[in-house]
Amino acid sequence: MEMTRLERARAYERTKKEEMNPQWKPVYHAAAPVGWVNDPNGFSIYQDEVHLFFQYYPYDMSWGPMHWGHCKSKDFIDWEYLPAVMAPGEAYDNFGCFSGSAIESEGEHVLIYTGVIEEELEDGSKKMAQVQCGASGDGLNYRKWDCNPIITSDSLPEGSSTVDFRDPKVWKKDGVYYLVVGSRNRDGSGQIALYQSKDLRAWEYCTILDCCNNEYGKMWECPDFFPLGEKYLLVTSPQDMREEGLKFHKGNGVICVMGDYDEKEKKFTRKKVTAVDYGLDFYAPQSLETKDGRRVMIAWMQSWDANIAPKELGWVGMMTVPRELELVDGELVQRPVRELNDYRKDLVRYEKIELSGRQSLEGISGRVMDLSLEIEEDGVESFCLHIGHSEEYTTTITWNPKEATLEFDRNGSGMVRDVVCSRKMWVDTADGRLHLRILLDRFSAEIFANGGRQVMSNAFYTPLEADGILFEVNGKAKVTVEKYDIVK
Ligand code: FRU
């Protein structure tokens, strides 16, 4: 009997996985098992375990017909890779199984995703459509539903796009299922549609929760909608953002639309819009709620604007560390999940030492660590941390207290196809010092400034031999340094 496309993908990833060098993979971040990975999908808890699916094309180092890959974890940090769960090929998803979400329902794990249909017309041109579909399974094997597609763009307000209608995010509240999905209205700008259902199969269109009016990018991809503190957050990933100082960078971005939600009227009132992460590599985040009530978010730690992973690695695409979200004084705060603390070993600590010029510190080197710095502002002209440092390579994180900015710059990281290689963000120092927590995991640096009030996620694919850390201070800096290894 001929293999199905899913069986073929599973067989391929089995053989290829054995050829992969585990030394060339992140240690505590979820990453592509083989081939290409983009958005996190179906980030959910099923039978007390965290499941993470992802947009997946196992056969190449670039995007292709989208499958869903799969891994799971008990603690957000130690990921077990499982066989892929979906391949494209049905009439309703022949071009790809695009992004979506998951929910536990009556003992089953239900996936709600976008099926992309490509149809060849008589004149040879192609017509595309996007529809929403479902599948259910047991945490290992999933079956697409016979009733697919479950939502088509016919249900949207008149004039909405039939081509851009994707990335459903599902949740349950008071016995009713809801989902938000990205779409475009008549003038081409992004809008987020809300649907409701009693059984996850029959869906009723409710309303447009918010619409970008061509202000924050164009198409709004991968929406997520959830309560946080007293507010509701609509987190979405706009394509084609325009730059606005340091507030928003151009290209693909992620925004947090904070507002009030009247559940009864299903009316969302926007109060403010901010960026979620100021780094080079952060897109398509998705969140879940843990049993103990934490809102945890994960994102693709790469960007469509820069695909710089070296092909020799055999994989492209990793996720951020999952982050706990909180609203503090009306601001979104992100911190690495507390479970990461269980993997911290061998503390090296320097208390209030004085640094000036270029120097390294005994015991502070490597490419996998949880590093905290508390830098007193007094006397600092500029403070620069070189990571992945060697004679040949360096990547820098520079604090300029006068400008109140922090810059990540990977110009020297050794990548030859890297065009957009630096980003800056505002950092404040209300109490006269800057606090940075920097997570390094071989090919990434996630920077949480001031307790997670400003965050920057970045990939850098410098050869692993470059594992130096160098401090470079203009002026004088009083610094407390804490470094833990992360050991699994
Ligand atoms: C976002 C995205 C989604 C889409 C998927 C396709 O990165 O463009 O909108 O579902 O990737 O792989």
Residues having CB within 6 Å of any atom of ligand 1: 38-39, 55, 66, 98-99, 114, 166-167, 221-222, 283-284
Q: Look at ligand 1, atom 8, and give the residue with the nearest C-alpha.
A: 221
**99 Cα nearest atom in ligand 1:** 10
Give the whole-angstrom CA distance, residue 476 versus residue 452.
Answer: 25
DSSP symbols for 112-179: EEEEEEEEE-TTS-EEEEEEEEEEEESSS-EEE-TT---B-GGGSPTT--SSSEEEEEEEEETTEEEE
The burial of 213, by beta-carbon neighbours within 10 Å (0-12 exposed, 13-18 middle, 19 or more buried), is given as exposed
The two tokens of residue 220 are 């709004």
Give the whole-angstrom CA distance, residue 478 versus residue 78.
Answer: 36
Q: Look at ligand 1, atom 6, and give the residue with the nearest C-alpha.
A: 98
Ligand 1 geometric centre to CA of 93 (Å): 14
Q: What is the DSSP letter of 418?
A: -
**283 Cα nearest atom in ligand 1:** 7
Give the whole-angstrom CA distance, residue 318 versus residue 411.
Answer: 21
β partners of residue 46? 49
Give the whole-angstrom CA distance, residue 276 versus residue 294.
Answer: 18
Give the whole-angstrom CA distance, residue 283 versus residue 237.
Answer: 7
Residues 256/177/195/183 CA torsion (nearest 10 deg): 40
Ligand 1 geometric centre to CA of 452 (Å): 27
Ligand 1 geometric centre to CA of 221 (Å): 7
Cis check for the bond before 149: say yes or no (omega within 30 of 0): yes
To test the ligand 1 pocket, which listed residue (68, 166, 304) has its Cβ within 8 A of the most ligand atoms?
166
The two tokens of residue 450 are 């001031």
Active site residues: 39
To test the ligand 1 pocket, which listed residue (37, 38, 286) has its Cβ within 8 A of the most ligand atoms?
38
End-to-end CA distance of the chain: 42
To test the ligand 1 pocket, which listed residue (37, 39, 252, 281) has its Cβ within 8 A of the most ligand atoms?
39
Give the DSSP H/E element, type plus range, for residue 5: helix 5-19
**219 Cα nearest atom in ligand 1:** 9
243 alpha-carbon distance from chain centroid:
20
Ligand 1 geometric centre to CA of 312 (Å): 25
AA identity, residue 366: G
**98 Cα nearest atom in ligand 1:** 10
Ligand 1 geometric centre to CA of 152 (Å): 18
**182 Cα nearest atom in ligand 1:** 9
Ligand 1 geometric centre to CA of 372 (Å): 34
Is the torsion defined by CA of 177, 213, 129, 60 positive or negative? Answer: negative
pLDDT in tens, the chain (488 residues): 789 999 999 999 999 988 899 899 999 999 999 999 999 999 999 999 999 999 999 999 999 999 999 999 999 999 999 999 999 999 999 999 999 999 999 999 999 999 999 999 999 999 999 999 999 999 999 999 999 999 999 999 999 999 999 999 999 999 999 999 999 999 999 999 999 999 999 999 999 999 999 899 999 999 999 999 999 999 999 999 999 999 999 999 999 999 999 999 999 999 999 999 999 999 999 999 999 999 999 999 999 998 889 989 999 999 999 999 999 999 999 999 999 999 999 999 999 999 999 999 999 999 999 999 999 999 999 999 999 999 999 999 999 999 999 999 999 999 888 888 999 999 988 789 999 999 999 999 999 999 999 999 999 999 999 999 999 999 999 999 999 999 99
**300 Cα nearest atom in ligand 1:** 7
Ligand 1 geometric centre to CA of 163 (Å): 13
